[in-house]
Chains A and B, each alone.
Chain A
Amino acid sequence: MLFHDTALIFGRYARQTLRSRFALLFGVLTPLLYLLFFGPLLTGLPLGSQGSSWQVLVPGLLLQLGLFGASFAGFTIIIEQNSGVLERMRVTPVSRLALLLGRVLRDTVLFVFQAALLVLAAVIMGLRAPLAGILTGFVFVALLTMSLASLSYALGMKVRTPQEFGPTVNAVTMPAMLLSGLMLPMTLAPGWLDILSRLMPFRYLVDAVRDAYVGSYATAHMLYGVLVAVGLTAVAVIVGTRVFRTAGA
């Protein structure tokens, strides 16, 4: 039943996204701009990596895509809450978990698609990385999207108005991006910044993907990255489901 319900919800939202070119491409714009106009500035710099500057930057941009894209997923929930769509679905027997997973699955597929577009552009700009590393990167984008989208939907259900939602999410995602070393690796950071960044879960994700992009898969970074990604996803999905079950207060 859960599988059937999730597929149904996923289908509905996938069709909705496919109808809108804006929705299909919106999230990839910012990382693309960074790739095209910021990336070339890094090619000569010593970034403390075995690979090229592209192998340092692109993992960060992929996670930036997931971070900003998925964090704002809750906007659509607020609109649906206010228009009555969400309530209508909650009155049917459809599984509460499916209501969340179907949406999150759509977001995951969308951002992995956009991540692929980004990598394609990066390859044109000069990125060379092993295929397994690139695929690993997509897996991390998927896990990050699943967790942040779930949390974003949970927040959207609690907050109710777009005016409260936007600034709240912004206030969290921008510092998160900077403190996680997404643009430039934290190995370049002074001691205090490095320590601060270790509190950010995304730091471990980007370190793992950077390792994958130079072909090192069996490293400590990869281990921590996987643990954090899976843990974050589990917590987020649990929180999200609970909110969907009890929403309406």
Chain B
Amino acid sequence: MPIISAAGLARTFQTKHGPVEAVRGIDLTVRPGEILGLLGPNGAGKTTTLRMLTTLLAPTGGAATVAGHDLATDPAGVRRAIGLVAQSGGVDPTVTVREELVTQARLYRLTKDQAVARTAELAGDLGLGELLDRRTAALSGGQRRRLDIAMALTHRPRVLFLDEPTTGLDPGSRAGVWDLVRRLRDEHGTTVVLTTHYLDEADALADRLVIVDAGAVAAEGTPSALKLRHGGSIDATLQDTFLAVTGRGPTPAASAPVAV
């Protein structure tokens, strides 16, 4: 019984320059407890797909069911079961970490006491204990990301969506996020859907990959299967596999002379 199933999900934006088809019919199936990676170049439609699945954006075509709730008819049900860590995690810079976490818990309908208890728990799990009374503006990039993740985990969601979770982080923080994602799956059975354009991240974390290009699914499977099928051998790099799937070769060398 898949925890997410999407069929023909599409989104067209009406802009000043005419309609833009950001997502053109994506089918997606995610099994409970797996880590699914949406991999693709910038502009492929990964973030738009994520925003549709998290009820932030209404699809202009297709349908989806997330954690047993239909996206179109029961968005509130979807919201109760999911968490989202967006690329620009949104916190108020003038507020303390503790206050943000408590308010977030109350937005998820926890009582005041439950919210305070949950905040302490999350701070312990995510190494935010010493930062609780600091203002969010004073956090480093890695600490901010951990706070963003903590905020998304407040209500113990069954599915966690991560949009480019380690973009802009230093290697230590990246490794920390990866460990966290694995722990979530291993200890809590949380299903994780993450978008990324980092191939090492996709390789390291994802149980299954869906390669998205120009608004549609270009290939899907486990990293090994993709490498075998598209990259030529199971030892092929994900880079070569990705380039083979999306049909783009490496950037050609500049043809203009270096010096005249």
Give the residues in chain B near A12, CB-CB below 8 Å: 92, 103
Residue of A nearest to B76 (CB): A93
Give the residues in chain B near A8, CB-CB below 8 Å: 103, 106-107
Give the residues in chain A near B56, CB-CB below 8 Å: 87, 90-91, 248
Output the least CB separation between A139 and chain B (Å). 31
Contact between chains at A86 and B90 (CB < 8 Å): yes
Give the residues in chain A near B151, CB-CB below 8 Å: 88
Counting contact residues on chain B (CB < 8 A from A), the size range is 20 to 34
Output the least CB separation between B12 and chain A (Å). 10
How many A-B residue pairs have C-beta atoms within 8 angstroms? Tell me.
Answer: 70
A interface: dominant SS: helix
Give the residues in chain A near B126, CB-CB below 8 Å: none
Q: Is B51 part of the binding interface, using a Cβ–Cβ cutoff of 8 Å?
A: yes
- Chain A 225-249, CB-CB to B under 8 Å as 1, else 0, gives 0000000000000000000001011
Within 8 A of B (CB), among A166-206: none
Give the residues in chain B near A248, CB-CB below 8 Å: 51, 56-58
Q: Is A161 part of the binding interface, using a Cβ–Cβ cutoff of 8 Å?
A: no
Within 8 A of A (CB), among B90-120: 90-92, 94-95, 99, 103-104, 106-109
Residue of A nearest to B87 (CB): A84
Contact between chains at A249 and B90 (CB < 8 Å): no
- Alpha-carbon gap, A83 to B104, bound state (A): 16
Apart from A8-B106, A15-B95, A82-B88, what 17 extra A-B contacts exist at CB < 8 Å?
A1-B109, A4-B109, A12-B103, A20-B94, A83-B88, A85-B90, A86-B90, A87-B84, A88-B84, A88-B90, A88-B104, A90-B55, A91-B79, A92-B104, A92-B108, A93-B108, A93-B109
Residues of A in contact with B (beta carbons under 8 Å apart):
1, 4-5, 8, 12, 15-16, 19-20, 80, 82-94, 246, 248-249
